[in-house]
A and B are shown apart, each in its own frame.
Chain A
Amino acid sequence: MRRTNVTGEATATGGEARTADGTGTTGEIGGPGRTSGPPITPPPHPDGPDRPGNPDGPNRPGEPDSPDRPGEPDSPGRPGEPQHPGHLHHRNRANGPNRRYWRAGFQRGRIELGHLVHNPKEMSGHLINVVVALALGGFVSRTVPGTQVPMTHLTIAGFAAYLLFQVGLLNLPQILVTEREEGALLRLRATPGGIPAYLVAKSVLVVVVALGTLAVLLGSAALLVDGPLPHGLGGWLTLLWVTALGLLAVVPLGAAIGAVLPNPREALALIMLPSMALLITSGAVFPITSLPVVVQKVATVFPLKWMAQGLRSALLPDAARAAEPAGSWELPTVALVLTAWAVIGFLLAVPLLRRATRRESGSRLTERHRKAEQNGAGAA
């Protein structure tokens, strides 16, 4: 039934068509009359409760073998399936499943966000950064050297950058590793469209969490410690693109890291240290000019410095440029470095995620659980 709603133009397989399709579906999630809403209490089947396959059941046993089901309505356009001819279904191949998978992805993202919001432990994990930022921002009272800009503003801007950085490179890998370990990735691999939907869901989750914490941080800082807010339209636009590009720089990278790290516990240890080091050396929370030059040079390779610098340009008055190493915001360089990281991240993430998914199988899962139990860290 759902397939009949699909418009013909979505048949185009280009990314734009899919996106348009996907965003179209978001609004419909949970909407009335959509099957995606949880119809937990549907009308009872007339044939009685013991026939789960009512609509289809009577036909199936007598149904001959697979060759007689070529019209499996949603065969996606797989070139390797010549045994599914049926030109009637070619149209549906391209958009029927895709539409379903996008919707599943958004639904999944929404549900996972719900779980996050209702999990006090995880929520406090995200909010503790805001609290630390506020405490630090309220504590510093000097001004940024050489300027009249309160140090608080620099600190808050730096923490804002770090929050984005952390969501992409700390939280996301942890989620990926955990879900891989528990078998969610395998289950989705065994589900048609499961992996695309998973990626959509994770993108939704990461973006919402990042923007949410950012908004909470800037909002509460502005209210409580006289924190910075963008000046004028230009400031807001800068905030927008630096945030977007910053996320693009760290999220694929985080996905790549999550694809290769061994297990949740080790993962945390492995990522935590470098990211703390970067937090300090990137000049996020105090002016980078006060650090040795070598350290400064190293930090320029990584995205955090540029995210922080970009956010400062959005949040701090122009006069604060004086405290920057180059004496200016270097926005073109910010864009360039972040884009470069985004490209690197995608180039790494796609094959690594493929590999991680491909390697998943029941026996590997069993083996890992066995090991985990032997280590006395059995999750169950």
Chain B
Amino acid sequence: MTTSLRTSPATTPAAATTPPAPRPAASAHPVIRVRDLRMAYGATDVLHGVDLDIHHGEVFALLGPNGAGKTTTVEILEGFRQRSGGDVTVLGTDPARGGDAWRGRIGLVLQSWRDHRRWRVGELLTHFATYYPDPRDPAELLRLVGLTEQAGQRVDQLSGGQRRRLDVALGIVGRPELLFLDEPTTGFDPQARRRFHVLVERLAREEGVTILLTTHDLAEAERLADRIAMLVNGRIRALGTPAELARQAAARAEVRWTADDGTPRRERTADPSRLVWELHRDADGPIAGLEVRRPTLEDTYLRMLHQEGGDGSGAGERDGEDEDGGPGDGSGERCENGEERVA
């Protein structure tokens, strides 16, 4: 799966199973290793053979729309869900059999925790520190997440962003080697989001915590992640560093113009310059509404979602010709309207 839309051979010289992580910390023993992970609920397949390697100190974003299988994947990795098939090791252990020592090396930040409302912030953090052999200092931790002033407050008096930062503090109080962040900034205002990003970067860069982040916010993934995997309909459709993915995406530019009869046209091409030249030649003059767009990673992402959503694309316009063999994969990447997202 992972090889389909992956980075070009030039950037991954080694075997596809061990792509080099951007930082030198990469080693032969990934923190998370997933092979052919499958999950079925009843007759419905949710994951169709996912492969992943996440390395020490890496920030890895699992990106995908709701229902793509993100949550299922992560919950299997967290040891909260039994998989239907495939091999999974997290920190050297099968999560389905992870004991307390294993748990102690993992931190968890979920989006829907509303627990311990009556506890005081400092009290709660100090309490959870007692479960771990070598906890962080709660006061330091409060300062790290910017909640020192709230230490004496009740948890249910915190704002949403403060609450989430407290969750992060609770997630890292045991000095985890691996941290799961589930949609960490949903509902954050921009300032809180930014602070949160700084915190995550600090954890990864300064302390070498491996972080698996799930999000449907591409900008966040681009900002934080060393590598991004796009999970769509239970398959990994793209995997690489943000730069690699962006390069891949930008390689297929979109040219828009208005035809003589006034209808808007668009076409995707690996060689926009040539297309524009041809259009000029055909029109023998200026072209109305000419626009050349290098697609962003986001465009690619949305397109991927759209593609997966069904075959309602390709209606009208002069699109759909993809045989020029862009640098991509030839895996049936089609142009489409791109306007509507699939629910």
By a beta-carbon cutoff of 8 Å, the part of chain A in contact with chain B is: 2-3, 35-36, 38-42, 45, 49-54, 56-57, 60-67, 69, 72-76, 78, 80-81, 83-84, 96-97, 100-101, 103-104, 107-108, 111, 115, 119, 179, 182-184, 186-187, 189-194, 197, 360-363, 365-366, 369, 379-380
Please report the C-alpha to C-alpha distance between residue A379 and residue B81 in the assembled complex, in whole angstroms: 26
Among candidates B81, B128, B177, residue contacting A361 with C-beta atoms closer than 8 Å = B81
Please report the C-alpha to C-alpha distance between residue A101 and residue B134 in the assembled complex, in whole angstroms: 14
| In the complex, chain B residues 85-100 whose Cβ is within 8 Å of any chain A Cβ | 91-93, 97, 99-100
B32: nearest chain-A partner, CB-CB: A66
Please report the C-alpha to C-alpha distance between residue A66 and residue B33 in the assembled complex, in whole angstroms: 12
Let me know if B92 and A76 touch, CB within 8 A.
no
8 A-B pairs closest in CB distance: A61-B208, A78-B99, A184-B115, A75-B101, A65-B29, A192-B100, A192-B104, A361-B80
Residues of B contacting A64 with CB < 8 Å?
27, 29, 56
Please report the C-alpha to C-alpha distance between residue A111 and residue B122 in the assembled complex, in whole angstroms: 12
Let me know if A104 and B143 touch, CB within 8 A.
no
Segment with Cβ contacts to A, from B9-17, B105-113, B334-342: B105-113
Let me know if A57 and B114 touch, CB within 8 A.
no
Among candidates A56, A76, A192, residue contacting B175 with C-beta atoms closer than 8 Å = A56
Let me know if B130 and A75 touch, CB within 8 A.
no
Please report the C-alpha to C-alpha distance between residue A40 and residue B172 in the assembled complex, in whole angstroms: 17
Q: Which among A57, A83, A363 has the highest number of chain B CB atoms within 10 Å?
A: A363
Please report the C-alpha to C-alpha distance between residue A101 and residue B128 in the assembled complex, in whole angstroms: 10
Let me know if A186 and B57 touch, CB within 8 A.
no
Please report the C-alpha to C-alpha distance between residue A42 and residue B140 in the assembled complex, in whole angstroms: 9
Let me know if B118 and A81 touch, CB within 8 A.
no
Residues of A contacting B131 with CB < 8 Å?
100-101, 104, 191-194, 197
Q: Given A64-B27, A81-B93, A111-B119, does the pair A40, B133 have CB atoms closer than 8 Å? A: no
Interface flag for B78 (CB, 8 Å): yes
Residues of B contacting A38 with CB < 8 Å?
122-123, 126, 138
Please report the C-alpha to C-alpha distance between residue A107 and residue B125 in the assembled complex, in whole angstroms: 13
Residues of A contacting B113 with CB < 8 Å?
182-183, 186-187, 365
Let me know if A60 and B123 touch, CB within 8 A.
no
A-B contact pairs, 21 of them (CB 8 A): A39-B137, A49-B140, A52-B136, A53-B207, A57-B206, A60-B209, A61-B57, A64-B56, A65-B92, A67-B92, A72-B104, A100-B130, A107-B130, A182-B117, A187-B113, A193-B100, A194-B131, A362-B74, A362-B80, A366-B111, A379-B114
A92: nearest chain-B partner, CB-CB: B133
B305 to A: closest C-beta gap in Å: 20
Known: A50-B202, A81-B102, A363-B75. 18 other contacts (CB 8 A): A40-B126, A54-B140, A60-B207, A61-B208, A65-B28, A80-B97, A81-B93, A81-B99, A100-B130, A111-B123, A111-B127, A179-B115, A183-B110, A186-B110, A187-B116, A194-B131, A197-B131, A380-B114
Please report the C-alpha to C-alpha distance between residue A83 and residue B129 in the assembled complex, in whole angstroms: 26
Residues of A contacting B57 with CB < 8 Å?
61
Q: Given A74-B133, A107-B127, A183-B110, does the pair A192, B115 have CB atoms closer than 8 Å? A: no
Interface flag for B63 (CB, 8 Å): no
B151: nearest chain-A partner, CB-CB: A40
Q: Which among B30, B128, B137 has the highest number of chain A CB atoms within 10 Å?
A: B137
Residues of A contacting B130 with CB < 8 Å?
35-36, 100, 103-104, 107
A115: nearest chain-B partner, CB-CB: B118
Q: Given A366-B112, A379-B114, does the pair A53, B136 have CB atoms closer than 8 Å? A: yes
Among candidates A56, A101, A197, A361, residue contacting B75 with C-beta atoms closer than 8 Å = A361
B71 to A: closest C-beta gap in Å: 5
Among candidates B101, B151, B209, residue contacting A78 with C-beta atoms closer than 8 Å = B101
B135: nearest chain-A partner, CB-CB: A35
A365: nearest chain-B partner, CB-CB: B112
Let me know if B128 and A191 touch, CB within 8 A.
yes
Q: Which among A84, A182, A187 has the highest number of chain B CB atoms within 10 Å?
A: A187
Residues of B contacting A67 with CB < 8 Å?
29, 92
Residues of A contacting B206 with CB < 8 Å?
51, 53, 57, 61
Let me know if A40 and B100 touch, CB within 8 A.
no
B98 to A: closest C-beta gap in Å: 9
Let me know if A72 and B101 touch, CB within 8 A.
yes
Q: Given A81-B102, A192-B101, does the pair A52, B144 have CB atoms closer than 8 Å? A: yes
Please report the C-alpha to C-alpha distance between residue A57 and residue B136 in the assembled complex, in whole angstroms: 11
Residues of A contacting B134 with CB < 8 Å?
56, 73
| In the complex, chain B residues 174-231 whose Cβ is within 8 Å of any chain A Cβ | 174-175, 177, 182, 202, 206-209
Let me know if B110 and A362 touch, CB within 8 A.
yes
Please report the C-alpha to C-alpha distance between residue A4 and residue B118 in the assembled complex, in whole angstroms: 34
B138 to A: closest C-beta gap in Å: 6
| In the complex, chain B residues 45-78 whose Cβ is within 8 Å of any chain A Cβ | 56-57, 71-72, 74-75, 78
Residues of A contacting B119 with CB < 8 Å?
111, 115
Let me know if B175 and A53 touch, CB within 8 A.
yes
B326 to A: closest C-beta gap in Å: 37
Please report the C-alpha to C-alpha distance between residue A25 and residue B171 in the assembled complex, in whole angstroms: 26
Let me know if B122 and A40 touch, CB within 8 A.
yes
Let me know if A183 and B112 touch, CB within 8 A.
yes
B307 to A: closest C-beta gap in Å: 25
Residues of A contacting B31 with CB < 8 Å?
65-66
Interface flag for B243 (CB, 8 Å): no
Please report the C-alpha to C-alpha distance between residue A282 and residue B183 in the assembled complex, in whole angstroms: 52
Residues of B contacting A182 with CB < 8 Å?
113-117
Let me know if A52 and B141 touch, CB within 8 A.
yes
Let me know if A74 and B71 touch, CB within 8 A.
no
